[in-house]
Structure 1
């Protein structure tokens, strides 16, 4: 297909010149009713914040320019079909699970999934079969799915409907995706890939294998992360064994009927940009990340880890664009370095956990930005370095699942002081965000280790989300149910 085309963008440009009088929504009427919004976003932006109409197609049932944009995206990503998603990759992940699982069905997945996956289990009533990842205790990060663990889960649960794989993880860890797909298909299971952090795999030269090339059935791709589109815009890719009409129906269960043309056009333009110039762009991203990794490791005290971790098992491959930096040897938790960089150096990092920070390197970065980060890290080491005694590292604790996420989420519950919840069954989510991987999910046993972790993360300044209580002093547990 002609990847130089951008049908949604082109239709909006044509629409802009038509001087149509709006008697439809949105009510700001091209910004005339909200001058402060125009001042913030500009006339051009507000002027194309329009409603679905025949010339611009409709995301719920595309027949013209949106359909063409989806076909172009499928071609660019090597998929059977691609859906434009305006509810973020959260909605794409949920669509994957809801398309393959219903109440009572089993799905095999790693426990270090994004909360969106477990949210989908709450919605559809599927039962998780967790493949607990191995932990790198030095770095405090969870690793990929090991093949033997996947095989064991399948042998014990041959009736599972699907396997979900994180590829890559937030830290750049990749599983043996092609082998997992082959094993899953051999046992009649769909293989779904949360590829939120892997958009660039489809366009870079020396990248880990993509979900579509590995013949996965579905993949959710955060175009707004490494692909350059506007926040909240993503793609859902499917293989030829999926019924695209049914998938569209699942999408329409939860996705808005008032899709933003700002988001849609950003997907269209960004897909064109990557299809035409992506390899060159990601060659530079790879260079910048490697340069940063080498310079940071020269400082001492930090460890910007990379492909040297590959063991062809729990770390089958590594995304070299991910700049994950372990900070424990300078005596600071990752979240502490994250806060110092923002508050004292005006540098915003993607996230900090208990042992690491992640600097997200992508198409918009410059070498001088990298050098500023390296200089700041060296200065932080000089000013704040101390003994690491007492620092906790692990970002993942193997859970004990007592009930399904759906049953526990909707069960009768009570709120208790957090220290009194040990031995109870949690009925809500608790997570540090980002990265949004639950420390606790509905249906899991609350242990002293987990409470200690939550308390420590709070003390270090992690942003903890999920519970009804905004201060995380209390947790909701299932009333009358002990673990």
Structure 2
């Protein structure tokens, strides 16, 4: 990587140049550098609002970059060791959908784990591809899906030789990594593309002693959430393509759904963040890993909590573990993860990333300080002392792998009827049901509803999980496929 080149930030530099020229705007946006919306200026600041500008010749255009955006994307590709990088302003949802839609059309099969983010299944609804799920092993105690076993991927490939691609989550929200290099090798031997949802893996490209990143493993495409561990603004992301991928075609697919009014705030944040990571990422992520490991040790010494890490690695379903993820199992103190999540926010003014039925996740990044870690550890010790209950009364937390009966697209667009959740056992679901975050569907369109899944949904609701995806905002009723 050329460090001197990486010191540049072409989009940011072009915006600075534009600002100095004091151009009179007779174009959109209509707030005209904030003059038309003083409250917005008060909220965001004059500097921020004055850079919320429209595409113009000196600033290039994200739909067809030829100058500063093109240069910025080339620098990002170099920093991330990709053949090509796309700036994405619709979040990693948009990147994931770009990957899937560029290699799958109606009727094509794609091999993937079921614990994918909803954006993956949404892409299948859009294009009509058929999912072939490799049900990952589940950690029964923690209630989370683990990685994809290479042998299971190989079996799915041999049973579905007509599949066009394999999609892998790496790492998962909780820090679990699959044997990505081996999955890539097996898939490529059978002429299938490998797509990696790397929403939680920006740091893998820059840190040391971390799991392998998608581009180094030889994957064909990867979606990278720069706004998560990379420091850019929320909703900004990258789509990376590897050797032999027709990036011009991928560009056409992206332009089917991506806005033609790309935000320069988001794009400049990608540009600046890439520069920061290229120049200082190694040291920054060493510090992040150190803080997370320190927090893990401190939380485990409280007793009752289990902050899991490298001790989970088994060479198979947990091939590696991303130590920057601070995932903590809470069920042994008699509290669901979501209950600890709520207590931390409401009683201690600490906002963590997620709480599910049995775990919490505190996201540690380049913006954290050791005193914040100390505060989190102290609050957890306090919660154990003041709020712990008898864990025997809690529901078994195991993640349930659903059974697919109809493709997501067919189910989503089928005739449906609304029924009370508790009466839907044996019916086929016609919509999504999920806790957000993490945004992994409990049910997706086309899946069989079972009594166990109903119990899981009701329990998650009672504990206070944020339920999404259903037409009914209260999640009292579910849309199921109408009986013919």
Q: Please give the range of the TM-score, normalised by the shorter of the 2 chains.
A: over 0.9
Partner in structure 2 of residue 220 of structure 1:
223
TM-aligned CA deviation for residue 140 of structure 1? 1.1
CA displacement 1:261-316 (0-9 Å, x = unmatched): 00000000000000000001001001100000000000000000000110010000
**Matching residue within 264, 283, 287 for 2:267:** 264
Instruction: Report if aligned partners of 2:141, 2:398 keep a CA contact under 8 Å in 1.
Output: no
Partner in structure 1 of residue 71 of structure 2:
68
Instruction: Report if aligned partners of 1:95, 1:251 keep a CA contact under 8 Å in 2.
Output: yes
**Matching residue within 381, 384, 389 for 1:378:** 381
Asked if 1:113 is matched to 2:116, the reply is yes
Equivalents in 2 of 1:169, 1:43: separation in Å? Answer: 39
TM-aligned CA deviation for residue 395 of structure 1? 5.5
**Matching residue within 411, 416, 423 for 1:413:** 416
Equivalents in 2 of 1:119, 1:93: separation in Å? Answer: 10
Instruction: Report if aligned partners of 2:139, 2:398 keep a CA contact under 8 Å in 1.
Output: no
Partner in structure 2 of residue 441 of structure 1:
444
Q: What SS is found at the alignment partner of 1:426?
A: coil
Equivalents in 2 of 1:452, 1:380: separation in Å? Answer: 27
Partner in structure 1 of residue 25 of structure 2:
22
**Matching residue within 174, 182, 188 for 1:171:** 174
Instruction: Report if aligned partners of 2:140, 2:398 keep a CA contact under 8 Å in 1.
Output: no
Instruction: Report if aligned partners of 2:138, 2:398 keep a CA contact under 8 Å in 1.
Output: no
Q: What SS is found at the alignment partner of 2:482?
A: strand
Equivalents in 2 of 1:392, 1:366: separation in Å? Answer: 36
**Matching residue within 294, 314, 332 for 2:317:** 314
Equivalents in 2 of 1:308, 1:424: separation in Å? Answer: 40
Partner in structure 1 of residue 300 of structure 2:
297
Instruction: Report if aligned partners of 2:142, 2:398 keep a CA contact under 8 Å in 1.
Output: no
Instruction: Report if aligned partners of 1:222, 1:233 keep a CA contact under 8 Å in 2.
Output: yes
Instruction: Report if aligned partners of 1:355, 1:393 keep a CA contact under 8 Å in 2.
Output: no
Partner in structure 1 of residue 62 of structure 2:
59
Map residues 67-216 of structure 1 onto 2, 5 A cutoff.
67-216=70-219
Q: What SS is found at the alignment partner of 1:17?
A: helix
**Matching residue within 344, 368, 375 for 2:347:** 344
Point out 4+ residue stretches in structure 1 off by more than 6 angstroms: none
CA displacement 1:33-79 (0-9 Å, x = unmatched): 10000000000000000000000000000000000000000000000
**Matching residue within 427, 432, 441 for 1:429:** 432
CA displacement 1:65-109 (0-9 Å, x = unmatched): 000000000000000000000000000000100011000000000
Equivalents in 2 of 1:344, 1:451: separation in Å? Answer: 31
Q: Which moved more, 1:57-66 or 1:419-428?
A: 419-428
Equivalents in 1 of 2:393, 2:219: separation in Å? Answer: 43
Q: What SS is found at the alignment partner of 2:6?
A: coil
Asked if 1:454 is matched to 2:440, the reply is no
Instruction: Report if aligned partners of 1:355, 1:392 keep a CA contact under 8 Å in 2.
Output: no
Q: What SS is found at the alignment partner of 2:235?
A: coil
TM-aligned CA deviation for residue 393 of structure 1? 4.7
**Matching residue within 1, 4, 11 for 2:14:** 11
Equivalents in 1 of 2:271, 2:398: separation in Å? Answer: 36
Per the normalisation by structure 2, the TM-score is 0.99
RMSD, aligned CA: 0.7
Instruction: Report if aligned partners of 1:163, 1:192 keep a CA contact under 8 Å in 2.
Output: yes
TM-aligned CA deviation for residue 396 of structure 1? 2.1
Asked if 1:475 is matched to 2:478, the reply is yes
**Matching residue within 362, 365, 386 for 1:362:** 365
Equivalents in 1 of 2:475, 2:390: separation in Å? Answer: 29
Q: What SS is found at the alignment partner of 1:324?
A: strand
Equivalents in 2 of 1:110, 1:434: separation in Å? Answer: 18
Seen in structure 2, the aligned counterparts of structure 1 residues 342 and 395 have a Cα distance that, compared at 3 Å, is: farther
**Matching residue within 390, 396, 401 for 2:399:** 396
TM-aligned CA deviation for residue 416 of structure 1? 1.1
Equivalents in 2 of 1:277, 1:284: separation in Å? Answer: 11
Equivalents in 2 of 1:411, 1:75: separation in Å? Answer: 45
Aligned residues: 481
Instruction: Report if aligned partners of 1:421, 1:446 keep a CA contact under 8 Å in 2.
Output: yes
Partner in structure 1 of residue 39 of structure 2:
36
Gaps of 5+ in 1: none
Equivalents in 2 of 1:17, 1:144: separation in Å? Answer: 51
Q: What SS is found at the alignment partner of 2:173?
A: coil
CA displacement 1:405-432 (0-9 Å, x = unmatched): 0000001111111112111111100000
Equivalents in 2 of 1:450, 1:158: separation in Å? Answer: 31
Instruction: Report if aligned partners of 1:354, 1:395 keep a CA contact under 8 Å in 2.
Output: no
